[in-house]
Amino acid sequence: MFRLTIILHLFIGATLSGVGLIAVLVAGYGSGWTLAGAALAGFVLAFPVSYAVARAMAGDE
């Protein structure tokens, strides 16, 4: 299940980072640190989300 979690993290992490970047830009913040923080937050938040999705896909609820 670890491999599935890592593969899902690639896609979920990119999606959440992109959503965070768009949200920050729409809010009117455009500095580099703010954008990097939003991307990092999406990357970190994707770990538990990927694990939950992998468990649901594997049927280990």
Give the per-residue pLDDT at 26: 96
Rounded-to-integer distance, Cα 58 and Cα 52, Å: 10
10-residue averages of pLDDT along the chain (61 residues): 94 96 94 95 96 90 63
- What per-residue confidence (pLDDT) applies to 61? 63
